[in-house]
Chain A
Amino acid sequence: MTFDHETLVAFSKSYGLFYMMGFFAIVVIYAYWPSNKDKFDKAASRILEDEQE
């Protein structure tokens, strides 16, 4: 390892937060993107179809 302890700790303390916020934003935007709505609704009800036929 060429990194020393201080660098790693500083990285751990800062990067974690940004990474989490970015990650959260991406997931929320994806989940609530209007054009995806249809697909999700279909996926949610698809599992029930067998039994209803």
Chain B
Amino acid sequence: MAMFLALCLGFGGFFLGVIGQGDPIGVHGYLIAFVGYLLLFLIVHSFYSPNPSPKRVTRYFDDPTKAGIILAMLWVIIATFVGDWIAWLLVFPEATFDAGWSSFGRLRPVHTSGVIFGFGGNALIATSFHVLQRTSRARLPDQLTPWVIIIGYNLFCLIAATGYLMGVTSSKEYAEPEWYADIFLTVVWVLYLLLYLRTLKRRKEPHIYVANWYFMAFIIVMAILHVFNGLAVPVSLGHAKSYSLFSGVQDAMVQWWYGHNAVAFFLTAGFLGMLYYYLPMRAQRPIFSYRLSIISFWGITFLYMWVGSHHLHYTALPQWVQTLGMSFSIILLVPSWASAGNALLTLNGAWDKVRDDPTLRFMMVAAIFYGLSTFEGSFLAIRPVNALSHYTDWTVGHVHSGALGWVAMITFGSIYTLVPWLWGKKEMYSKKLIEVHFWLALAGTIIYVFAMWNSGIIQGLMWRAYNGEGTLAYSFIESVEAMKPYYVARAFGGFCFFLGTVIGLYNIVKTIKSTDLELAAPPDKEPIVHSSDALTLQTAE
């Protein structure tokens, strides 16, 4: 079965390569074909390895989670490096080697997609497999699907990133991949949803733990968003280029309906799922209020969908839609702060642990940044504030306080919790290096965010400043010049953060390789698997 899929991938890619001659889609075709044949080779190769023990079906299936975590770390290193590189490009604009692929416009989506989908997506998929099995006390229903999801998803990320370098982009922010990559991702995503539902069906716990609610909202809503936002008509099967089904004001609304809900359900709901499992586990305390987590779950699920239009204040979008977006953005603060408060109150009484344990501190800081950036988000959604902040670096700072402070910090906390468990080690290789990573990440984030606050507000004020005669006080280029010191500071902050991720990966690799950290007994209790389940498992493989 796995061979068949790899073969399909190989032939499919080859077909795309042939009909797409002379177009970037052809390059991608051959890339897909290459990956297909490589997988085929690996699968055939694995036939020669010894048969796995039949007892494996009574345990949790964690290999895809392991792969996902390593991939997430690799992506975060690449993507933050590219991000820092383009931050420097704004200081040294000549550094593009006179080539297309290296210019700001093409590298920016490599950075954004690399961080959101490469790092965030892999981390979410990996941890969701882990959380799902533990909280359901059930093994994933088969071995093939999780691998198809991990490999397929990363192939999508690879197609996306290489495509941007060649200039393949739909220009839809945070959804830049073209139609063929979109279709491919849709297939992978449906498999992911089905795998989630199938595992939940096998669960031995009567209640579905709240972390899974968030993961499910993440999977389901992203599917809806992705499909609608991606609707487009390709020029031909041999063209990477397609034209969006929507235009003008409708397209703007659809794009920001997608864009803001990608923030909501990818970067918020998914990572809250992570928080609701790994934070209590690391602190060894149950969540402060389970009831509050229910309220904030439904609050977030329901409210976020309304707020996308706050990206379009004072534009040609009808005003009632803008007002609706603004109002709901403000109400949204309630469930957001409920979650942040819930996380911090869980730690209340365990502050000594937070002081001594950098991993737990990562999670605490994440919760604080979550609270701060949701407050900032609601604030920026108010129309008069938005008049000043929109189009400036303030938005960039806001996004990064969420992405670096919340998303990345909760992920690093979760990964440092998870790695020793998965690989059966007592603890991480070096607590000191976690400490170093923590301070680099925190300092980097703060420098970045402060630089962008300053530059953003100055930009906004300069653009609207009038002199005594009642004419505009500054030309646009004067505002560009004024940004230089902040752009240097931002690039430096970004570099600190990047350095932290490299140290993180080094620490993880060392932990996996070390032999003296080995635990005598595997940490996880074997799940209860009925013999009938075990039987179906074997026939499925």
Verify whether A and B have any Cβ pair under 8 Å.
Answer: yes
Docked complex Cα distance between A26 and B320 (Å): 27
Per the CB 8 Å criterion, the residue count for chain B at the interface is 28
Q: Does B284 contact A (CB under 8 A)?
A: yes
By the criterion CB–CB under 8 Å, are A47 and B134 in contact?
A: yes
By the criterion CB–CB under 8 Å, are A40 and B291 in contact?
A: yes
Q: Does B194 contact A (CB under 8 A)?
A: no
Docked complex Cα distance between A16 and B307 (Å): 13
Docked complex Cα distance between A36 and B277 (Å): 21
Docked complex Cα distance between A31 and B296 (Å): 10
Q: Does B87 contact A (CB under 8 A)?
A: no
B residues near A20, Cβ cutoff 8 Å: 302-303, 331
Chain A's nearest CB lies how many Å from the CB of B524?
A: 7
By the criterion CB–CB under 8 Å, are B298 and A48 in contact?
A: no
Closest to A27 in B: B298
Q: Does B210 contact A (CB under 8 A)?
A: yes
Q: Can you name 24 A-B residue pairings with CB atoms under 8 Å? A: A9-B320, A13-B320, A16-B324, A20-B303, A20-B331, A28-B295, A30-B294, A31-B292, A37-B291, A40-B291, A41-B286, A42-B207, A43-B207, A43-B209, A43-B210, A44-B280, A47-B134, A47-B135, A47-B286, A48-B281, A48-B285, A48-B286, A50-B524, A53-B525
Total contacts A to B, CB within 8 angstroms? 64
By the criterion CB–CB under 8 Å, are B525 and A23 in contact?
A: no
Chain B's nearest CB lies how many Å from the CB of A29?
A: 10
B residues near A43, Cβ cutoff 8 Å: 207, 209-210, 290
Given known pairs A24-B299, A47-B280, A47-B281, the reply for A41 and B525 (CB within 8 Å) is: no
Given known pairs A44-B286, A47-B277, the reply for A27 and B294 (CB within 8 Å) is: yes
Kindly list 8 other residue pairs between chains A and B, CB separation below 8 angstroms, not including A12-B324, A13-B320.
Answer: A9-B320, A16-B324, A31-B294, A40-B290, A40-B294, A47-B135, A47-B209, A48-B285
B residues near A27, Cβ cutoff 8 Å: 294-295, 298-299
Docked complex Cα distance between A42 and B306 (Å): 34
Q: Does A4 contact B (CB under 8 A)?
A: no
B residues near A46, Cβ cutoff 8 Å: 205, 207, 209
Chain B's nearest CB lies how many Å from the CB of A35?
A: 13
Residues of A within 8 A of B (CB): 9, 12-13, 16, 20, 23-24, 27-28, 30-32, 36-37, 39-48, 50-53
Docked complex Cα distance between A32 and B324 (Å): 29
A residues near B290, Cβ cutoff 8 Å: 40-41, 43-44
B residues near A40, Cβ cutoff 8 Å: 290-291, 294
Closest to B294 in A: A31
Closest to B303 in A: A20
Q: Convert B304-322 into 0s and 1s, putting 1 for each residue whose CB lies closer than 8 angstroms to a CB of A.
A: 0010000000000000100
Top 10 nearest A-B pairs by Cβ distance? A44-B286, A40-B290, A31-B291, A44-B290, A45-B286, A27-B298, A31-B294, A43-B207, A44-B287, A31-B295
B residues near A23, Cβ cutoff 8 Å: 298, 302
Docked complex Cα distance between A15 and B285 (Å): 41
Q: Convert B266-281 into 0s and 1s, putting 1 for each residue whose CB lies closer than 8 angstroms to a CB of A.
A: 0000000000010011
B residues near A9, Cβ cutoff 8 Å: 320
Partner of B207, one of A12, A24, A39: A39
Chain A's nearest CB lies how many Å from the CB of B107?
A: 40
By the criterion CB–CB under 8 Å, are B306 and A16 in contact?
A: yes
B residues near A47, Cβ cutoff 8 Å: 134-135, 209, 277, 280-281, 286
List B residues 240-265 near A (Cβ within 8 Å): none
The residue among A20, A43, A50, A53 with the most chain B CB atoms within 10 A of its own CB is A43
Docked complex Cα distance between A48 and B294 (Å): 19
B residues near A12, Cβ cutoff 8 Å: 320, 324
By the criterion CB–CB under 8 Å, are B284 and A51 in contact?
A: yes
By the criterion CB–CB under 8 Å, are A50 and B286 in contact?
A: no
B residues near A39, Cβ cutoff 8 Å: 207
Closest to A26 in B: B298
Closest to B523 in A: A51
A residues near B524, Cβ cutoff 8 Å: 50
B residues near A48, Cβ cutoff 8 Å: 280-281, 284-286
Partner of A51, one of B205, B281, B294, B298: B281
A residues near B302, Cβ cutoff 8 Å: 20, 23
Chain A's nearest CB lies how many Å from the CB of B344?
A: 16
A residues near B525, Cβ cutoff 8 Å: 50, 53
Docked complex Cα distance between A13 and B525 (Å): 53
B residues near A52, Cβ cutoff 8 Å: 284
Closest to A30 in B: B294
B residues near A16, Cβ cutoff 8 Å: 306, 324
List B residues 98-154 near A (Cβ within 8 Å): 134-135
A residues near B286, Cβ cutoff 8 Å: 41, 44-45, 47-48
